[in-house]
A and B are shown apart, each in its own frame.
Chain A
């Protein structure tokens, strides 16, 4: 079997048994990138020499019997939202075209500490604002299952990289569904941990109270392994929580019994593609067949999620993105008469349309005279959304539903209709607002061969249980073993 078809767990086994060397593994994935990424365009930056050097280092340490990390020699693709010391970090934006951070994001440092090989930086919607990766200032990424379709977003590059065998693992960020939705659209596993589980230090901020880092992998064990590596307290992020990190990958096969699955009627409303609905209902049956109890729950505030999200997230973004003004770093317009013009031109030239739209929306939501009606009210409804989940988790272990209302859509299909694009996140958007964990796992394919994702959400800091419940489904299905047929 080709190395690039293997999971991270399998690769680690082969590496540790000395059946294969890290340089061979990294070389194989670099080769795949060379062949496949010409058409998929998932990567913004690949430094082959640096990756190979890191792999060589791992090999020699392994040869000498020195201690090695949990990911020793496994390549990991990272979204270009993570600051990488000495390596350009654009966040998919023109305004950060020449930004080279002098520091590694906490999660990058964790990857390196566990000897993961950072293989490249992946494409994304500009400042993580989007659901198709089409808002990247640099390139459009194709979905490995059908390159004319989008990989989802905003972490579309990371999801496509894993699905296409260009990296066994990837890191993304999720603010409204930016890990789970592309995972669903690309037929892989993607997880958004509880807010505070992973440090945001070095993650270019979009919406600080929602942003969270999470793993992509072919299966749950891989995702669990990567979560294990990146999770944990970091003094540099005051919102990261100081509680122990379970060894998720070790307990993943332990079934949760008794198990109660919550199904929300709000998740099967208008706009849900019948093929997706059928796959999700069948997945629920798979749980019932394993003895799970299914209870209907209600999330009455969830219809407001999209509205709340587009007030809270844009308000925070309008402030977070204020620093890109052409004064200290980033793009500065060449022509300006005065300071105000320097600001407006630099920002006007540096930001794309969707980012401008959200900055304006957020600025408006916070403006005096409107703040109470929009921002403040949104915070109140956000609280109600959290309360809904708190109540739900008194009755069930996890809430199960669709990740995305449809499978991957055509590139260009929704770019002129922001609202249609926003509705893509309708099922994933509540979890970040409530601060809870969510995961998307493969649960079938449409007739036309596009992957469908099953969305499971769990109570705060119950990632371990969430992974185990998800694994109960994965064990008895084989959707996760399917790989797209790629031309190259």
Chain B
């Protein structure tokens, strides 16, 4: 149990995800990651004079998909705006974004917390183009900065969440849930390392004073959060830092201007970079080179129908339909729909959901992780795994041996029965053969038999041990027990 903190954390996340389109938002250039600098550029995305943007309608569809999955209201009329600011990685010195009429707003995302499911409100979701990347030549003393515009014009979805997250763990869970949802829908691959999911956090803390009043600290926007772990660590650190600062200065929200901080991963700390003395003036105005977009309600319905079962619904169905624990349902859901379908097939085929969950979330998942593959590349078809689980159950093969059989099946691609035979784990199931062994064991252990007859029932275990040794552990214990008692009674 964690010690009670002397404050409440309030976190709101602003997430940017790169849409999974083949081409950029306003031109035909490739969005492929890792190309040589400026290989994926054209006059439009480098903002040459006279060129004009043309909207990528697939990007808009993916964006609507995401917004619908986030329970957002979709605006029937939406437009593009220019956000004006000067920076060398922004070729036009304005970014095409959405200002006062985003295509969607008022949504929510349900996350799993220790205290159960929690709804996090989404303020708005809008589309915009990405900027390029600056490459600074440190040796040149900053005089030779280079610009790579491969990313300029790549479609981004900005998802602005309400400050409903009340712990670093919740912030991490929110990001995880968002990533799962967007990956499931094919909206984004959400790779933080490749920058296709980026996160900024607005955080402050509420401190209850002894007189019952609550003091809120100034909000700090933390940037450069490059991993889930970084988000969690940075939030913890920043909350502590704000608490310490509050104890020192007593400064509350509104008394100093909003600050921006960067997360330094290696030093494990947030570094306040600047206080915004005045709000940046982006001089937004409607983008005259693009026409407003009207959303066709019929198309919206089609997209809504195409969403399929979303993670939150899947999780609760797995619990209800298969009687899984919240933990198991969570693990399966997090692996994605295909994995869940695999589990469901195995569960149905074996009729034992708990066993199916155990095998899929432990052994199967471990193999996927080790081999870095998806479930569709997993070598054992569901019916083969189900057959294997059935064998284990019927024969009472112990866990150790069962794992060896599982590994053998993966290696050889042979069936459960064949692999058991190959490994010599074949259970002695011939009743006559087993009876023979039992009789031999009784004959070889007269002392134990005598003890047993005197009422020392435990003495039977020694004879049973002899039988198991003889069968190399490949006899069903219940069968051995039954035969042994029967034969002892006769003797």
Contact across chains for B50 and A209 when beta carbons are under 8 A apart:
no
Contact at B50–A339, with CB atoms within 8 Å?
no
Chain B proximity mask over A255-285: 1 for CB below 8 Å, otherwise 0 = 0000000000000000000000000000000
Q: Are A205 and B50 in contact (CB under 8 A)?
A: yes
Chain B: minimal CB distance from A341 (Å)? 12
Contact A322 B52 (CB under 8 A): no
Distance A322 CA – B290 CA, assembled complex (angstroms):
18
How far is A323 from B284 in the complex, measured between Cα atoms in Å? 16
B84 touches A96 (CB 8 A): no
Of all chain B residues, the one with the shortest Cβ separation from A324 is B49
Q: Which of B46, B49, B53 is A91 in contact with, Cβ under 8 Å?
A: B49
What are the residues of chain A within 8 A of B50 when measuring CB–CB?
Answer: 82-83, 89, 101, 105, 200-205
Contacts of A83 in B (CB 8 A): 49-50
- Contacting A367 at CB < 8 Å: which of B92, B147, B283? B283
Chain A residues near B284 (CB, 8 Å)? 366
Bound-complex Cα distance A82 to B86 (A): 26
Q: Which of B1-54 contact A (CB under 8 A)?
A: 43, 46-54
Question: Which A residues are CB-close (under 8 A) to B52?
Answer: 200-201, 236-239
B281 within 8 Å of A (CB atoms): yes
- Do residues B84 and A328 form an inter-chain contact, with CB atoms below 8 A? no
Task: Give chain A residues whose Cβ lies under 8 Å from the Cβ of B279.
Answer: 368
A364, closest chain B residue (CB): B283
Q: Chain B residues with Cβ under 8 A from A207's Cβ?
A: 288
Within 8 A of B (CB), among A332-372: 339, 343, 363, 366-368, 371
**Which residues of B sit under 8 angstroms from A363, Cβ to Cβ?**
283
Q: How far is the CA of A315 from the CA of B50 in the complex (A)?
A: 17
Q: Give A437 to B91 CA distance when docked, in angstroms.
A: 33
A323 contacts B283, C-beta separation under 8 Å: no
Q: Chain A contacts of B288 at CB under 8 A?
A: 207-209, 239, 316
Chain B residues 61 to 100 lying within 8 A of chain A, measured CB to CB, are: 82, 84, 86, 88, 91-94
Interface centre among A205, A328, A363 (most CB of B within 10 A): A328
Q: Tell me, rounded to whole Å, the shortest Cβ–Cβ distance linking A399 to chain B.
A: 25
- In the complex, whether B256 has a CB less than 8 A from a CB of chain A is no
Q: How far is the CB of B291 from chain A (nearest CB, A)?
A: 5
Chain B minimum-CB-distance residue to A366: B283
Chain A residues with CB under 8 A of B43: 101-103
Residue A99 interfacial (CB < 8 Å): yes
Q: How far is the CA of A255 from the CA of B53 in the complex (A)?
A: 41
List A residues 190-209 near B (Cβ within 8 Å): 200-205, 207-209
Q: Which of B48, B54, B93 contacts A101 (CB 8 A)?
A: B48
Q: In the complex, what's the smallest C-beta–C-beta distance from A226 to chain B, in angstroms?
A: 20
Answer whether residue A39 sits at the interface, using C-beta atoms and an 8 A cutoff: no
In the complex, whether B378 has a CB less than 8 A from a CB of chain A is no
Can you name 22 A-B pairs with beta carbons within 8 Å? A83-B50, A89-B50, A91-B49, A102-B43, A103-B51, A201-B50, A201-B52, A204-B50, A205-B50, A209-B288, A236-B51, A238-B52, A239-B290, A316-B285, A319-B93, A319-B283, A319-B285, A323-B47, A323-B92, A323-B93, A328-B47, A371-B283
* Extra inter-chain contacts (8) besides given A105-B50, A208-B288, A323-B47, CB under 8 Å: A101-B48, A202-B50, A239-B289, A323-B49, A323-B92, A323-B93, A325-B93, A375-B285
The 8 A-B pairs of least Cβ separation, nearest first, read A322-B93, A208-B288, A366-B283, A209-B288, A204-B49, A202-B50, A83-B50, A204-B50
